[in-house]
Amino acid sequence: MSLVRKSAAELGALVASGDVSAVEVAQAHLDRIAAVEPRVNAFLHVDAETTLAQARAVDARRAAGDDLGPLAGVPIAHKDVFTTTDMPTTAGSKILEGYRPPYDATVTRRLREAGLVILGKTNLDEFAMGSSTENSAFGPTRNPWDLSRVPGGSSGGSSAAVAAYEAPLSTGTDTGGSIRQPAAVTGIVGMKPTYGGSSRYGLIAFASSLDTPGPFARNVLDAALLHEAFSGHDAMDATSIDAPAPSVVEAARQGEVAGLRVGVVREFGGEGYQPGVLARFHESVELLESLGAKVVEVSCPSFTTALPAYYLIAPSEASSNLARFDAMRYGLRVGDDGTRSAEEVMALTRAAGFGPEVKRRIILGTYALSSGYYDAYYGQAQKVRTLIARDFEAAFHQVDVLISPTTPTTAFPIGERADDPMAMYLADLCTIPANLAGNAAISVPCGLADEDGLPVGLQIMAPVLGDDRCYRVAAAVERALEDRWGGGLLSKAPGL
């Protein structure tokens, strides 16, 4: 098996033992990127020299007898929304094109400390606003399963890089489903940790009460290893949870669901869901029952109002967060010819630098926060958010985890929903409630839809700080389905 086909855990073990060098592993992935990247467009920035320098540093540490962690020398693709001192950070926007931050995000720093080798920065919907990676100012990313289709979003570059074997691991951020939805439609694993369980310091903000960094991988154990590598309390993040978290790696290795109470969310299913998605979901329910889980139906009535509540709360926070891009301090500046006022330069820069979806959300959020409308819109949405959290709380008194399809459909064709924002927003129908409540949730591949042969994801939701439960159930599903498929879901991909 070539190095690019090996798991992150396998690559880490090979580097630690000296059977292969970190430089060899990095070069193999750089070669893969060179071979497939023109067709996929997963990366916005790749610097082979910087990558190989990181790999040489890991090899030097091993030669010196240092105790390397489980992911030292393993390549990773990094979503271009985390600040990096040695690479540009654009958030997929023209307004930050070429910007080099003066500091690393906490997630970036922890990746470096763990010895991971950052291959480059991945494409995304501009400022993480989207469900298809079509909103990037630098062109869409394509789904490795079918290059005419989207890889999900906003972390579509990260999901595509892993699915295309350009990297064994990648980082993403999940504000309304931006890790789980792309993971589902590209046939990989994607985890949204508990809000506050992974640091937002150095993450270019979209919606501060929702944004959550998390891992992508081709299997559950790799995702858990990456999760543990960059998670944990951070004093630089005021919303970071200062409490011990259960070991997700141990849970991923365990993968046992006998006796576990699993709730099927009644409100997720039926009209608007692709038949092949529902078929794979129902098979997953039967699979969990066969593994000894007790499956019951659970009603969470407020979940049906999550989508409109989210599209008031998230744009409201975005309109506040994106006010910092004013052409005065960093990034793009348009029209500064000495004759225009600061206000005119600011307006011209934002008009040129922000894309249509970002402008749409800023306008919506500014309206929702404006005098006379705040209570009617933003205030009401926050009340709905409380009801959703209460529904989760009531559900977790009955069951240990909740399950649903990750997304109602498989990957849709590029351009199909570009002019229909509402259809685009429905891609996050099942994922948004966990963001509003701050719960942990994961997507794991559960098969291929009959209609189009494209991947389907199973979503597993757990209480706050119940991340280990997500990995425990996901690992059990993965193990059982690997026996059925023989080689994992990506072995069924047509390839590039």
Residues taking part in catalysis: 79, 154, 178
3-state secondary structure at position 44: strand
Report the relative pairing of strands 213-217 and 189-192 from DSSP bridges: antiparallel
**Facing residues of 294 across strands?**
261
Nearest to 70 by CA among 274, 247, 310, 315: 247
What is the rounded distance in angstroms from the CA atom of residue 152 to the CA atom of residue 172?
Answer: 12
Q: Report residue 285: phi and psi, to 5°.
A: -60, -45
Could you tell me if 55 and 117 are in contact, meaning their C-beta atoms sit under 8 angstroms apart?
A: yes
The 10 Å CB-count burial string (b at 16+, else e) for 322-334 is beebbbeeebbbb
User: Residue 219: CB partners within 8 Å, gap ≥ 6?
Assistant: 7, 189, 478, 488
Could you tell me if 92 and 45 are in contact, meaning their C-beta atoms sit under 8 angstroms apart?
A: no
The token duo for 238 is 């005021």
Nearest to 115 by CA among 154, 83, 67: 67
What is the rounded distance in angstroms from the CA atom of residue 257 to the CA atom of residue 426?
Answer: 31
- Measured CA to CA in angstroms, residue 246 lies from 227, 228, 379 at distances of 12, 10, 35
